[in-house]
Amino acid sequence: MDDLDGKDVLVIGLGISGRSAAAFCSDRGARVVACDEREDLPADGLPAGVDVRLGGTLPPVADFDLVVPSPGVPVDRYAGAQRAWGDIELTARALPVPIIAVTGTNGKSTTVRLIEAMLRASGLRARAAGNVGDAALELVGEPLDLAVLEVSSFQLEAIESFRPHVGVILGCTPDHLDRHGSLDAYRAVKLRLFAQQAVGDIAIVNADDDALREATETLVGERWLVSTRGPVTRGAFLNAAGIRLCTPQHTLTLPHEAEGAFRGPLAVNLLSALLAAVAVGVEPLKAYSAVADFRALPHRMETVAIVDGIRWIDDSKATNPGAAAAALGSTPGPVVWIVGGRGKGTGFAEFDDRALSHVRAVLTIGEAADEIRAAIGGRVPVEACKTLDRAVERARALAAEGDSVLLAPACASFDQFQSFEDRGDQFRALVEATR
């Protein structure tokens, strides 16, 4: 089935990954039907032979040799397909180079970009793609030594033989439960990253996540652990001197000086990226040298301004409660916390006494405001601001010198914004107006 010539292929969804999949299959001789329920999508840029069908009902999936679902398409929409491969599966089958793949609830994009920078610092031709920006299939045909893929749980639902030489799982906290149903089911999908690994492959696992550590004790591939809490026998951890690296080839300590912004919840990203680079043969000091010039992606614990001694932090990418709780734990000073948006069916159990220990006030926005208020239960003052501009206005009035104002919504953005990036950009603009 790797040979697509003459096959009937149905591509469901014409977003970035769907369009790339339609073009990829068509260029390899497949007869491609590309469908999307939306009616107003442009069909330009696709090969002339692609049969584009917008709006209307989906053709019977069993009529096709292969169905390629976009990540946003639930599994039940292509149940009964003879074979279903997402863009990650197609990419892995077409790439002739080793793959480093990263999944987890939070920190994927930062980690893959950091791995990419570390590999390039060592002179390797590497490129990151997947859920991070460019479609994974864009890497096919590139002159590469290594590919670095960000892989979501949605993409892992549509794999068959996908086998990354190095797989990284950063953590698993409640997210997308409206699709996966439960945390256990969500974790099981994430763990599919390691399902096809064999002897000689490496699985990098966040040991601070107890459930993940226990679930990965019997992997076929070699397991390397990362921890911000204490020593591990094989992997990387933080201690008073810096980063302690313990692998079959290297045992050394890297000093804290190069870490820059990689503290708090981002420390796991740094440790995981470093291990991934070392796993493919990069010298630790060469990999670590990339950190000094690395610029973290926007909207991830980004200090957008310090005004009158008040630090304004944009963590709009904290789109689930676990990410927001981690952000609170690493934010300096008393915190005025802006939270809310569209919930994902996860609940807000992470908002415990520890998370709220240095929160001065909670300012809620969006659809989930009442649910968040109920979860906090009067332990700290909560004000319903409804909109982001009102929340920023109230934060300016409530915060004192030495405080931080943190946007960590714990929710999706789509009730009031186009994306988490749009939410973060609007937050920055509102903060800039306070100067």
Choosing from 108, 190, 317, 344, the catalytic residue is 108
- 131 catalytically annotated: yes
Across 11-28, b (16+ Cβ under 10 Å) vs e yields bbbbebbbbbbbbbbbeb
For the chain, the C-alpha Rg in angstroms (whole number) is: 22
- Can you tell me which residue has the tokens 């980004």? 302
- Cα–Cα dist 10/30, whole Å: 10
Can 286 be counted among the known catalytic residues?
A: no
Asked if 7 contacts 68 with a C-beta cutoff of 8 angstroms, the reply is no
Cα separation, 426 vs 297, whole angstroms: 16
Q: Where are the alpha helices (DSSP H) in 330-387?
A: 369-376
Identify whether the C-beta of residue 279 lies closer than 8 Å to the C-beta of residue 204: yes
Could you give the CA distance from residue 321 to residue 304 in angstroms, rounded to a whole number? 22
Active-site choice (106, 165, 176, 269): 176
Residue 250 to residues 190, 283, 284, 290: CA-CA distances in angstroms? 29, 9, 8, 18
User: DSSP states of 322-357 as a string?
Assistant: HHHHHHHHT--SSEEEEEESB--S---TT--TTTTT
Q: Which of 106, 131, 206, 320 is catalytic?
A: 131
**What is the spatial distance between Cα 253 and Cα 241, in angstroms, rounded to a whole number?**
7
CA atoms of 68 and 25, how far apart (whole Å): 10
Answer for the pair 31, 52: CB distance below 8 angstroms, yes or no.
no
Active site residue 190: no
Q: Is the dihedral of CA 10, 15, 16, 19 positive or negative?
A: positive
Rounded Cα–Cα distance for residues 96 and 407 (Å): 42
Residue 343 carries which side chain, given as an amino acid letter? G
- How many other CB atoms are there within 10 angstroms of residue 396's CB atom? 18
Which of 103, 58, 141 has the alpha carbon at shortest distance from 69? 58
Q: Are 167 and 279 in contact (CB under 8 A)?
A: no
Catalytically active residues are: 108, 131, 176
